[in-house]
Amino acid sequence: MAELLYNRAVAAAAQIPYTTVGHCLGVLPWDMNYELVKVATEHDWEEYHALRRRVLWGARGRSDYDPTRPAERAATNHPLLLKLDGRPIGTTRLDDLGDGRGVVRLVAIASDVQRQGHGRSLSGLVERYAQQLGLHTLLVNADPDAVGYYEKIGWRDCTWDEAELTGIASGCTQMAKSLLRNS
């Protein structure tokens, strides 16, 4: 069974805003029924890969997506699926580097629901989850079209590993975001 990391209905029923409820990550300030799920079931894996393949590869004319890469199932990596009313609409993978930093990888929002605030919601939920893991800094290889978005939500340019900038990440801008308050 997939580990439920966030469910607005459960958290709201408990009337505990911005705190944790079991594996739930807290209530968002807008009225959406999101679930952030750590991918574990075969069905969730299929949805996770199908969404990434469609949004990040197919829409960009690429056909070299490989769902069998070992990094997908590495113990320190957290594949995440964002669901809205039970429908998978977003994905990312959070890789814990083991030093208080985590890399947010391959963020995808379904094409038909982009530019509706779901990416911002996914970002907020991933930040809360990262904090629960004890991470203090998030890193990303931002696509050139996404740099402005990341800047608006508090990320800054920060070269953290130039060796990462190959394959689908070539041409990206490396960015970082502190999860510590007052930083």
Q: How many domains is the chain built from?
A: 1
Quote the CA–CA distance of 90 and 86 in Å, as a whole number. 12
Divide the 183 residues of the chain into consecutive groups of 10 and give the mean pLDDT of each group: 51 36 41 85 94 84 81 94 94 97 95 88 95 97 94 96 90 96 63
Look up the domain containing 122 and give its range: 3-178
Task: Identify the pLDDT of residue 182.
Answer: 59
Question: Residue 124 falls within a domain, yes or no?
Answer: yes
Question: Residue 183 falls within a domain, yes or no?
Answer: no
Task: Identify the pLDDT of residue 27.
Answer: 41
Helix residue ranges, H only, the chain: 8-13, 42-52, 118-132, 147-152
Q: Is the pTM of this model over 0.75?
A: yes
Task: Identify the pLDDT of residue 183.
Answer: 54
Q: What CATH number is attached to the domain comprising 149?
A: 3.40.630.30
